[in-house]
A and B are shown apart, each in its own frame.
Chain A
Amino acid sequence: MPKFPSMARDGLANTQQRRNLQHATHTIRSKRATVVDEVPDWEELRVRGAAVKDQVLAHLDDYLVQLEASLTASGATVHWARDADEANRIVRDLVQAKEVDELVKVKSMATQEIELNEALEEVGISAWETDLAELIVQLGHDRPSHILVPAIHRNRSEIRDIFREEMGAVGTPAPDGLTDEPTDLAEAARRHLREKFLRAKVAVSGANFAVADTGTLVVLESEGNGRMCLTLPETLISVVGIEKVVPTWEDLDVFMQLLPRSSTGERMNPYTSMWTGTTEGDGPQEVHVVLLDNGRTSVLADEVGRQALRCIRCSACLNVCPVYERAGGHAYGSVYPGPIGAILTPQLRGTSSPLDQSLPYASSLCGACFDVCPVRIQIPELLVHLRTQVVDEHRGGRPSAEGVAMRTASWMFADHRRYEKAQRASTMSSKLLGERTTLGRLPWPASSWSGARDAPAPPRETFRQWWVRTHGSESR
């Protein structure tokens, strides 16, 4: 995949998407700000949320063993998956054993991350997304652009067109004369999905939280479609990242406050489903939990970087990020876009590809993401940390033009006499420029600045020269 700057160029050129994103992120942003301001102890809650997650991460091995024991005791079957391939194979085998060729899905980032739908499709199993936005993305043969609102880049007339053109090929078609009124669109989706809910024998979900001491999995959602998947089918398979564990039921209380306000700007999310293994005669009779690593233990091994595993996927950082707002989610080349994606993706995948090397640089380090993060992930610091890692990995090899320039500049700045010599060259060039105070278009590499921006012409006299002239070199 190409680097972030060239992927972002497509997003910037898509004016419809930019309008959609601008409108949507600003709407959620102000809703979030309003409901967060209502909570007098918000800062304390953030600190508590971070502390619970850090406690889990510090003893992750113990909590996972405890979670496995409680899940097993409550009738669930636990599977461990080191990577995406292993997780996909486990799910595929379980579904094939049921001799079905379709299943319904609760919106889940973990299954997006491992590209489960694609892996199932390879063996002829159709995985139907039931979250409205995920359905729009799936029907549109598109990729999600946002963690919480995957179809954020689409407006309602685009959605009407997708429903009209695509629904019929995979199930109940859109009603004739479908308008772009939200209620009509929701009704079309409802009819389309209802047929799938009632037919499905198998469901796949993720989990927002996994409670170690009780073996309870928790999903928060807005539409109730997830609850249909969690209750109707006979078999439920949940793919859960190992960082999702929380020690006790009591620990949920802080996240139940942090998550809805941060993500949808609601005081409370409409549907919270909690399930613990199997119950005879009620709900799925077979429950499987696939505990997924897929790079998480290597993130855990990085003492500075491990705080990224606190992430509860609220997407508040996306909604305030000026880079995300303009480039769009697809530019990040991952299911995790925006500021959290710019750190988490290279952390989980490593920084071997040009795209993953460019992601830590996909930020102006403005810091808005940290201010809204409900679990206080120091995203700007982590971006710098990862940039350092990218540069360090290239040390010793053939030096890049940037590397040479940086080393030379550092050498120049390390001694003020060398620096003053470079300054004299700058003021000399200014004298050659005459009366000009700004420069127009400049040759490469300065062209990346001067394409749209005037560059200031260097002054005739530096500050230092002025100081020595007016205050003398003895006066220090």
Chain B
Amino acid sequence: MTASSAVAVQRVALFATCFNDTMFPEAPKATVRLLERLGISVEFPLEQTCCGQMFTNTGYADEAIPLVRSFVKTFGPYDAIVAPSGSCVGSVREQYASLATRAGDAGLSRDVDQLAPRVYELSEFLVNVLGRTDVGAYFPHRTTYHPTCHSLRMLRVGDRPQQLLSAVRGITLVDLPQAAECCGFGGTFAMKNADVSVAMGSDKVRHVRETQAEVLVAGDNSCLAHIGGLLGRQRAGVRTLHLAEVLASTEEDPA
């Protein structure tokens, strides 16, 4: 797509996601800084809370349905909804339709069908909607990238994040061995099957350390909290950062 497609997008809303909002505010802050730098006026509807993914994926569909209603109501008026989380975007795009069917509400199903295609993961929005791969970032660090499962296999974002990272000035981007393999977070899986989750995460951490990167980047803070939690316990000296933070980073305001 070309940059001209940005013209069609009048109102852009940020969906911060509850996890980022409460635990990792730097990622949505960076998203705002980045989009404003690219000339987008971002709005943040204060009625937003949680997409409901944790409920859906743990089997609590009835508990997710009120959150689907609230999401649709909150974001309905916007042309594009951008979130710094592949997995929350995946939940809206891939799971809302069946939740609406379960609710037996034809109106809700219609609203979901209408809204879901307008919800974008950050790299999709930058590359597809704004037509940008060089966002003018500066980040002079040895960096490796973990493509999270939901970005990779649910949203099929492909190599868009790598395209964006490659254009960052000063960066040394190194390949992560077995990058496409799950880190073991998996939402409540990390708690319900903690032993297997940690075993998977330990292998991911081993590969991260093999790269000798200073920074591990991903598009989902939930996966990063898990991998970062293991790196931290090992005192590995590897920083975890959200993709948005790297892309927002400049010489004047480094991440």
Contact = CB atoms under 8 A, between A and B. Distances in A.
Q: Which 7 A-B pairs have the closest CB atoms?
A: A364-B186, A453-B229, A387-B59, A366-B182, A367-B153, A410-B63, A391-B59
Contacts of A450: 229
A464 interface: yes
Interface in B151-199: 152-154, 180-182, 184-199
Contacts of A384: 56-57, 59, 95
A402 B58 CA distance: 10
Interface stretch (A82-90, A145-153, A251-259, A413-421): A413-421
Contacts of A198: none
B192 A5 contact: yes
B149 A365 contact: yes
Interface of B: 16, 18, 20-25, 28-29, 32, 43-50, 52, 54-64, 66-67, 70, 95, 149-150, 152-154, 180-182, 184-202, 225-226, 228-230, 232-233
A262 B174 CA distance: 31
B16 A406 contact: no
Contacts of B230: 452-454
Contact of B44 (A361, A364, A467): A467
Given A410-B66, A463-B16, 19 more contacts: A326-B199, A362-B193, A363-B186, A365-B187, A368-B149, A368-B153, A384-B57, A406-B60, A407-B60, A410-B64, A413-B18, A414-B49, A414-B70, A423-B22, A452-B230, A454-B232, A454-B233, A456-B225, A463-B21
B50 to A, nearest CB: 4
B21 A423 contact: yes
What DSSP secondary structure best describes chain A's contact surface?
helix
B25 A459 contact: yes
Given A12-B199, A416-B48, A463 B55 contact: no
A5 B43 CA distance: 43
Contacts, number: 198
A423 B230 CA distance: 25
Contacts of A463: 16, 20-22, 25, 28-29
A388 B153 contact: no
B226 A453 contact: yes
Contacts of A365: 57, 149, 186-187, 189
Contacts of A409: 54-55, 63
A387 B20 contact: no
Given A322-B184, A416-B47, A458 B198 contact: no
Interface stretch (A34-42, A55-63, A112-120, A468-476): A468-476
A388 B186 contact: no
23 contacts: A5-B193, A5-B196, A322-B184, A326-B200, A364-B149, A364-B185, A366-B181, A366-B186, A368-B182, A371-B153, A384-B56, A388-B61, A392-B61, A406-B58, A413-B49, A448-B194, A452-B194, A454-B229, A454-B230, A456-B23, A458-B23, A462-B22, A466-B25
B196 A8 contact: yes
A449 interface: yes
A237 B198 CA distance: 46
B58 A387 contact: yes
A413 B194 CA distance: 26
Nearest to B152: A367
A9 interface: yes
B104 to A, nearest CB: 15
A272 to B, nearest CB: 33
Contact of A5 (B29, B62, B195, B202): B195
Contacts of B184: 322, 364
A4 B197 CA distance: 13
A453 B198 contact: yes
Contacts of B18: 413, 419
Given A4-B193, A406-B58, A476-B43, A452 B198 contact: yes
Nearest to B184: A364
Contacts of B232: 438, 453-454
Contacts of B202: 452
Contacts of B56: 384
Contacts of B63: 406-407, 409-410
Contact of B60 (A391, A423, A471): A391
A94 interface: no
A4 B185 CA distance: 17
A467 B42 CA distance: 11
A390 B181 contact: no
A473 B46 CA distance: 8
A453 B192 contact: no
A468 B45 CA distance: 11
A323 B192 contact: no
A473 B47 CA distance: 11
A455 interface: yes
B240 to A, nearest CB: 10
Given A384-B59, A458-B22, A476-B46, A413 B52 contact: yes
A464 B21 contact: yes
A461 B152 CA distance: 31
A327 B197 CA distance: 10
